[in-house]
């Protein structure tokens, strides 16, 4: 087993994986559109609940697919066929992601369940390639069982929704997948995972999500030149740049991409990182919506920034380079900066010029800390 691992070549990201990711760019846009249904001065509660569920569901689907490819993918014909089938099914997921989602509930959940079954079947077929490797077979069976069980819960939600008018089983399915993968799916997998490939795949997904943010802030560039308009568009652009640079320094200088790990915790944290990025994109758009009340949209945006940086720093707790002995101090300083930022944003909530400027200062203050710390980690 050890000799096998030593001889194993690093897996490279293939074009087929990037093509697969493009469908998620489309779905990110569909998910974000859910938040543009307003009621009582903020996002309609039903639309917001649907947004949370759909966003977490599609990120989890991406995680499942990426994890399978990382460990067992050979970029063969069978694997490509399964990927394209899932891409086709994801169009039904995207089409069912809309303000009047109730009419597309069955379509959405049938496609979602079939996607999970599709990935689970790949694990079942993979069993034949490991006749004399009990650890591999145990891991494969665990993951297949988790996927089939989650698919059953998703399918059951179709009937539960018709009977009771709620869709709580959808959220239960997502939480079930997260918890069971952490508790059971990670066993025996640490020696199989190609973490350099896995971290690169996650990074590319994050970059695609930043692309959606770049599109989102385009609304700040209204074409009518004014000093106020130019100021706000510049600040929105700097926010996106600061967030991108912060993640980039973490990926390039702080995360230990050669670490021997099962990668599941890393991917789980990225579910919430990408969720925070989607929220920031929407929050920046909300700030220009005059029909929305100031306090809810301000809290939504501030909370999204805090979630983004909270998850970013959490990535370094278990995945930073071994020589990062000063990391707890960095996290403490960042947390203190977050408290000050939150207090000042609430105190100055009536002045949007100061609010957005303060946000840029906060982001680049943390970026400067991250950059300085990252340089210390370079050999």
Q: Is the pLDDT of residue 129 over 80?
A: yes
The secondary structure element, H or E, covering residue 129 is: none
Model confidence at 2, in pLDDT bands (50, 70, 90)?
Answer: very low
Measured between alpha carbons, how far is 123 from 357 in angstroms, rounded to an integer?
Answer: 50
* CB-based contact 372:250 (threshold 8 Å): no
pLDDT of residue 353: 87
pLDDT tens string 153-172: 999 999 999 988 888 899 99
DSSP of 133-197: -HHHHHHHHHHHHHHHHHHHHHHHHHHHHHHHS--HHHHHHHHHHHHHIIIIITTTTTTT--HHH
pLDDT of residue 261: 79
pLDDT tens string 339-354: 999 999 999 888 888 9
Per 3-state DSSP, what percentage of the chain is helix, strand, and coil (rounded to 5)? 80, 0, 20
pLDDT of residue 224: 66
pTM: 0.87
Entry field: residues in the chain: 379
DSSP of 224-246: S--HHHHHHHHHHHHHHHHHHHH
Q: What is the mean pLDDT of residues 273-277?
A: 93
pLDDT tens string 57-97: 999 999 999 989 988 888 888 889 999 999 999 999 999 99
Higher pLDDT among residues 184 and 104, named by residue: 104
Q: Is the pLDDT of residue 136 over 70?
A: yes
3-state DSSP assignment of residue 42: strand
What value, to the nearest 5°, has the Cα angle with vertex 336 and ends 330 and 342? 135
């Amino acid at each position: 087993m050890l000799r096998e691992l030593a001889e194993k070549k690093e897996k490279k990201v293939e074009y087929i994986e990037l093509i697969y990711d493009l469908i998620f760019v489309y779905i990110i846009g569909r998910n974000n559109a859910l938040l543009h249904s307003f009621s009582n001065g903020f996002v309609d509660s039903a639309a917001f609940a649907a947004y949370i569920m759909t966003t977490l569901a599609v990120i989890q689907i991406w995680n499942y697919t990426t994890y399978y490819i990382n460990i067992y993918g050979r970029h063969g014909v069978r694997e490509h066929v399964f990927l394209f089938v899932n891409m086709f099914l994801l169009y039904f997921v995207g089409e069912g992601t809309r303000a009047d989602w109730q009419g597309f509930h069955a379509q959405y959940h049938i496609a979602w369940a079939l996607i999970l079954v599709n990935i689970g079947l790949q694990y079942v077929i993979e069993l034949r390639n490991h006749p004399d490797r009990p650890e591999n077979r145990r891991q494969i069976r665990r993951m297949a069982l988790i996927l089939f069980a989650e698919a059953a819960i998703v399918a059951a939600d179709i009937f539960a929704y018709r009977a009771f008018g709620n869709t709580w089983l959808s959220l239960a399915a997502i939480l079930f997948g997260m918890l069971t993968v952490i508790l059971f799916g990670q066993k025996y997998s640490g020696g199989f995972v190609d973490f350099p490939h896995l971290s690169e795949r996650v990074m590319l997904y994050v970059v695609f999500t930043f692309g959606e943010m770049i599109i989102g802030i385009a609304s700040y560039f209204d074409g009518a030149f004014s000093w106020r308009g130019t100021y706000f568009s510049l600040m929105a652009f700097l926010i996106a740049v600061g967030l991108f640079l912060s993640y980039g320094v973490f990926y390039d200088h702080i995360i230990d991409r050669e670490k021997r790990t099962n990668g599941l915790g890393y991917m789980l944290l990225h579910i919430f990182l990408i969720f925070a990025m989607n929220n920031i994109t929407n929050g920046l758009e909300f700030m220009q919506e005059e029909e929305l009340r100031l306090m809810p949209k301000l809290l939504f945006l501030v909370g999204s920034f805090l979630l983004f940086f909270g998850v970013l720093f959490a990535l370094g707790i278990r995945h930073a380079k071994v020589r990062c002995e000063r990391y707890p101090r960095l996290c403490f300083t960042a947390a203190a900066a977050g408290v000050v930022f939150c207090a000042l944003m609430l105190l100055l909530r009536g002045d949007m010029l100061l609010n957005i400027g303060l946000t840029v200062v906060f982001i680049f203050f943390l970026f400067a800390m991250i950059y300085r710390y990252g340089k210390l980690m370079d050999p």
